[in-house]
């Protein structure tokens, strides 16, 4: 069966933060980035393609599911710049 991709528009606001120098130092090279916060240890998923492109790197962002903070993934810098802008509720 052929996979068919469709276009979707996001309904909610995304939560992201920048990749830091400390994130880069903690990267294990296996597709996961681990860091600790005041809420405990977190694992950030990084795709094989992003790893091949040198991620995690400064300029990339880390996104999280606002309903499940354990669900986090890397967003490459170019994709972020092309598709996101800061939210302002003014």
Determine the Cα–Cα distance for residues 14 and 31; give it in Å rounded to an integer: 22
pTM: 0.82
Show the tokens assigned to 30. Answer: 């296996």
- From the CA atom positions of the chain, what is the Rg in Å? 14
60, 17 contact by CB (below 8 A): no
CB atoms within 10 A of CB 58: 11
pLDDT of residue 41: 83
- Identify the residue with better confidence: 32 or 76: 76
- Split at pLDDT 50, 70, 90, the class of 90 is low
pLDDT of residue 89: 78
pLDDT value at 72 more than 80 = yes
- CATH top-level class for 15-83? mainly beta
- Structure confidence by residue, pLDDT tens digits, 26-61: 887 766 788 777 777 888 999 999 999 999 999 999
């Amino acid at each position: 069966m052929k996979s068919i991709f469709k276009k979707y528009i996001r309904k909610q606001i995304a939560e992201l933060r920048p990749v830091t120098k400390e994130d880069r130092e903690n990267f294990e090279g296996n597709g996961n980035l681990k860091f600790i916060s005041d809420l405990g240890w977190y694992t950030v998923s990084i795709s094989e393609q992003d790893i091949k492109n040198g991620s995690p790197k400064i300029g990339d962002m880390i996104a999280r599911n606002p309903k499940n903070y354990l669900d986090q993934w890397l967003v490459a810098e170019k994709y972020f710049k092309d598709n996101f802008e800061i939210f302002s509720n003014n």
